[in-house]
Structure 1
Amino acid sequence: MTDLEGWSVERLHADHAQALRMERLHYDSATEHQRIRVFENPTFGRVMTLDGVVQVTEADNFIYHEMLTHVPILAHGAVRRVLIVGGGDGGMAREVLKHRDVEQVTMVEIDAGVVEFCKEYLPGISAGAFDDPRLDLVIADGAEFMRLNADDYDVIIVDSTDPVGPGEVLFTDTFYGHAKARLAPGGILVTQNGVPFLQGGELTDTMRAFRALFSDATCYLATIPTYAGGPMALGWGTDGAARETDLATLKARFAASGIATDYYTPEVHQGAFALPPYVARLIP
């Protein structure tokens, strides 16, 4: 990848690229697994890229993190134990831990360097989550952890990178099967599945696996500006009836949580499952 002078250019897709201006470079270093870079952008604040691909920004991360946490937790209604696979920036843990009834969160991140780096250079993303006694941080391969772990969880959140390099194994049928085995009765699995307009095959492959595993398998949508190319698909799999939770119940649970949000509302929650035809056709 070749940057334009003063710009970070992401070429994740064959026919599409995006560029973010680097007003100031804060960090640029390679770990054992990937190249990490943090820079300042006037609109998005601090931006973290892994191998040139935008992972998180200070300004718009709330959308992704709120929708992958509050949707399954409030739909379920009685979540006590949560597993996060990935999420080294701490944003997912931040949102999960806002739920007072959640008793224990296990976060499995393959790269300790990402966690330490985010604590230092992006502390606002985690907002103290790494200091919460309910959080158990495990540095391990997520797929291997899922295969060997014997605990069960009410919600499992797969906060993965794109299905290339270290993140590729988190998009396999085998991994999803192991994840289902770790769900408590009525548990929910949610996943990051890319931008359907540009990554339709990714969503189709995941949904094919989900349809074989779960009685309720679909996706819902959220629009995150720096995940360019249209709304992002978030996979949903459960054998319970959580998706049928009515609006009044969602409103009551949300109000009782006392959580302040910038994207999530019970109405957005329900509407996110209304899929445009071009996305619905990608689901087998």
Structure 2
Amino acid sequence: MSNGYVIHNPLQCVQYIAPHTWVYMSVRRIFVNERTKYQHVLIVELEDFGKALFLDGILQSAQVDEYIYHESLVHPAMVTVGNPERVLILGTGEGAALREVVKYSSVKEVVTVDIDYELINYVKEYLKEFHNDSFKDPRVKEIYQDAVDYVRNTVTTGEKFDVVIMDLTDPYGSEIGAKVYSVDVIRGIYSMLNDNGALIVQAGSSFLFPREYGLVYDTVKLIFPLVTEYQVWVPSFMYSESFILATKGVNPIKLSSDIVDATLRINGVKTRFYNGKVHSALMALGSYNRT
């Protein structure tokens, strides 16, 4: 798979969508175009989508619609647990998932794990519109480590979480993120979760990459008793993003819109996209090729 790149005259970003599909995006300004120890980082301002983060040529999120992605990633799992106190984010990225997690009054600690310290430094400086300085929240503990090693070590210590959010690069993306979708890692996460805990996995596009998505789904299904799929259209991605929500106890499909809205309200959470009705709609959508 080739990476995206920036070309000039006019200044454009070529975004990888699928093996034989690319999208040209006009670029207004380049903030970062550097290679860290682990990956290529591109932070730009797009004409149509505002600031955007690309890792190894793949768009991670864009300013005008990232809330659709991040709210859909975070809140179904958080609401399913109800009042989560300890949350783990594997793949800190833009810090927008962290932004959504710290909205919950019930949260006492959130641990972020990312292998790329240089990336997060760029994010903190150039993508404040995404993270809203959530890194400064006193409940946040930042760890810079390979997610595989972190899970392995945490299983040994017996540390527990209520929600684990896997916001890594796509399973068909970079080698850094791909290895975290293994049976050993998912089994380790299962053991790290409390009895009513939940794991949410962003799993790329089930339509464009059915084989890779299916491997992740089958791995999660092998270990967790309750597994729910859902998807949401993200305009800047040019496709529907697929998610896999795995729980030990509560079935997210059975949560009424009233319960979802009440849980958000009790925790003081305000959203732009996600609410009780959206939750019910997401749970009904399933995923491509598996419904």
TM-score (norm 1): 0.94
Runs of at least 4 residues off by over 4 Å: 1-4
Aligned-residue offset at 1:268:
0.7
Q: Tell me by how many angstroms 1:38 deviates.
A: 1.2
1:235 equivalent in alignment to 2:259? no
Q: Is the 8 A contact 1:8 1:52 kept in 2?
A: no
Q: Which amino acid aligns with 2:246?
A: G
| Structure 2 match to 1:168 | 178
Match of 2:24 among 19, 27, 37: 19
Which residue of structure 2 lines up, in the alignment, with residue 156 of structure 1?
164
Shift of 1:218: 2.3
In structure 2, give the amino acid aligned to 1:233. S
Q: Which runs of 5+ in 2 are unaligned?
A: none
Alpha carbons of structure 1 residues 211 and 122: separation in structure 2 relative to 1, 3 Å: same
SS in 1 for 2:84: coil
Q: Tell me the equivalent position of 1:106.
A: 111
SS in 2 for 1:273: helix
For residue 284 of structure 2, what is the aligned residue in structure 1? Answer: 274
Task: Kindly state the Cα deviation for residue 210 of structure 1 after the two structures are TM-superposed.
Answer: 1.6
Greater CA drift, 246-255 or 119-128: 246-255
Q: Counterparts of 1:173 and 1:38 in 2: how far apart (Å)?
A: 33
Q: 2:203 aligns with which of 180, 193, 196?
A: 193
SS in 2 for 1:23: strand
Shift of 1:77: 0.8
| 8 Å Cα contact 1:90-1:125 kept in structure 2 | yes
Backbone CA RMSD of aligned residues: 1.6
Q: Please point out which of 47, 50, 59 is paired with 2:55.
A: 50
Q: What amino acid is aligned across from residue 184 of structure 1 in structure 2?
A: N
Residues 215/50 of structure 1: CA separation in 2 closer, same or farther (3 Å cut): same
Q: SS of the counterpart of 1:274?
A: helix
1:134 Cα deviation after fit: 0.2
Alpha-carbon distance, 1:11 to partner: 2.4
Alignment-mate amino acid for residue 55 of structure 1: Q
Distance, in Å, in 2 between the alignment partners of 1:67 and 1:278 is: 17
Match of 1:128 among 117, 128, 133: 133
The C-alpha deviation readout for 1:71-108, integer Å capped at 9, x for no partner, is 11112112100000002311111100000111100000
Counterpart contact for 1:28–1:38, Cα < 8 Å: yes
What code does the residue aligned with 2:104 have? H
What's 1:71 paired with?
76
Deviates more, 1:131-140 or 1:215-224: 215-224
Aligned equivalents of 1:218 and 1:279: distance in 2?
A: 14
Counterpart of 2:262, as a letter, is A
Q: Which one of the candidate residues 212, 219, 233 is aligned to 2:229? A: 219
Contact map agreement 1:195 1:228 (CA 8 A) in 2? no
TM-score normalized by the length of structure 2: 0.91
- 1:270, distance to aligned residue in structure 2 (A): 1.4
Instruction: Name the count of aligned residue pairs.
Output: 280
What is the identity, as a one-letter code, of the residue corresponding to 1:146?
A: V
